[in-house]
Structures are given as C-alpha cells and as structure tokens.
Chain A
Amino acid sequence: ETGVTQTPRHLVMGMTNKKSLKCEQHLGHNAMYWYKQSAKKPLELMFVYNFKEQTENNSVPSRFSPECPNSSHLFLHLHTLQPEDSALYLCASSQGGWLATYNEQFFGPGTRLTVL
C-alpha cells in the first residue's frame, strides 16, 4: 500500500451504533488530520495530531473521538451520531514536526458515512 489509505470506504450506521474509521499513512509523516466534507461546505478540519499528540480539536462534538496510537495510524471512533453527521470523512497526513514550514498534506480516499 502506498500513500494514505482509509477503511471502510462506505459506512451506513444507525444513530445508536458505535463504529470506527481507520486511516493509515505509508509516507513516514508525523502529522495526521481528520476532515469532514459536507455537501456545499468547505472542508472542515476536525482534529490534528503531531507526533501522536493531539494539537487541534476544532470544537468537535464528543460523539467523535479520535485516537492516534502511532504516527502511522489514526482512528475516528463514532457513537450516537446524528443524521447531520452524514458526510465524507477525509484523513490526511503531512511531514509535521517542529518548525515545519512547507506542510503539503496528502489525502486518503475518504469514508462516505451515512447516518440513518
């Protein structure tokens, strides 16, 4: 596998379910990101991890819980979601690190989430 991979690619869940999204990067990067992309809205940054430490939480509801066990893996745990949480969830990675200036982000293919 190369680049950034995400699983599953599609997920349908009920409001009472618990599920997890997985992201893995094979680029040797130190920073990983979760984004939400809803129809007709800009990409919204949700969480940022740098060297496994969470450095950004963009006022995301607690029903979304991220986990970064190491620099290559990022999870997004979902529970008691609402229908308005239906969206494309994109993971990205970048070089990260201290004083990183040119932080081009590489995106995974995304997980299309539908909450019924």
Chain B
Amino acid sequence: EDKVVQSPLSLVVHEGDTVTLNCSYEVTNFRSLLWYKQEKKAPTFLFMLTSSGIEKKSGRLSSILDKKELFSILNITATQTGDSAVYLCAVEANYGGATNKLIFGTGTLLAVQP
C-alpha cells in the first residue's frame, strides 16, 4: 500500500531557530513530491520536487528530494512566528488514468515561539 510518513509529528522551536522536517514515502508510479503549508484552512503550495539532489529555495525555505532513498526534507531557517503551521508532504502518483493522485502524510505541526 502506498504511504507517506512525516516526522516529527510536532515540533516547538523558538524564533530564529532552524528546523528540518522529514518526509519518507513508499509509492509506486512516483511522479513528484509536494510540500504544502496549512495554517487555518486551505493548504498553500510551497514546492514541487521531481528530480533528486536539486534544491528548491524560496526565501528562508528550501527543500530537496532523494529518489534513491525515497525521502525529502524541508528546511526553514531563521524561523518566525508566522511559520507556525502544519506542513504537509504529498506524493503525486499516477495509476494509469489521466489524472494523478496525491497521497498525503499526516503532517508536521510546527509551533514557533517568540
């Protein structure tokens, strides 16, 4: 059965700390791995990763994918209270149909304290 596992489940840090969130997966017909940030309701897109070893960066956030070891990490440097959210990892898979499917992990709840 396809699955996506995130760790840690929750994390409390202080402003200015650097955090690393982990996502491992066992998925057949892998297409891509996506990271989302969910603060209140709708998840908002952060990164899409398709190739191993190529870091994607946006401000203080960066992410990298290892397709051999089947995992990805999301780094946040110099954390701010506004980074507090649930970070969702999802793997996009294709099962032969025209539309791909996203398989989500349970998320990592990050709390950044002042």
Q: Please list the residues of chain A having a beta carbon within 8 angstroms of any beta carbon in chain B.
A: 4, 31, 40-43, 45, 48, 50-51, 55-56, 88, 90, 94, 96-110
B98 in contact with A96 (CB, 8 Å): yes
Asked if B61 is at the interface of the complex by the 8 Å CB criterion, the answer is no
Query: Which residues of chain A are within 8 angstroms of B104 by Cβ–Cβ distance?
Result: 42-43
Count B interface residues, CB 8 Å.
Answer: 26
Whether B60 is near chain A, meaning CB under 8 Å from some CB there, is no
Shortest CB–CB separation between residue B87 and chain A, in angstroms? Answer: 13
How far is B6's CA from A8's CA once the two chains are assembled, in angstroms? 31
A48–B105 touching, CB < 8 Å: no
The CA-CA distance from A42 to B107 in the complex, in Å, is 7
A103 and B97 contacting across the interface, CB-CB below 8 Å: no
Check A102/B50 contact, CB under 8 A, given A41-B106, A107-B43: yes
Which of chain A's residues has its CB closest to B31's CB?
A101
Report whether A55 and B102 are in contact in the complex, using a CB–CB cutoff of 8 Å: no
**Are B101 and A50 interface neighbours, CB within 8 A?**
no
Which chain B residue has the least Cβ–Cβ distance from A91?
B42
Encoded as 1 (CB less than 8 Å from any A CB) or 0, chain B from 26 to 57 comes to 00000110101000011111001010000000
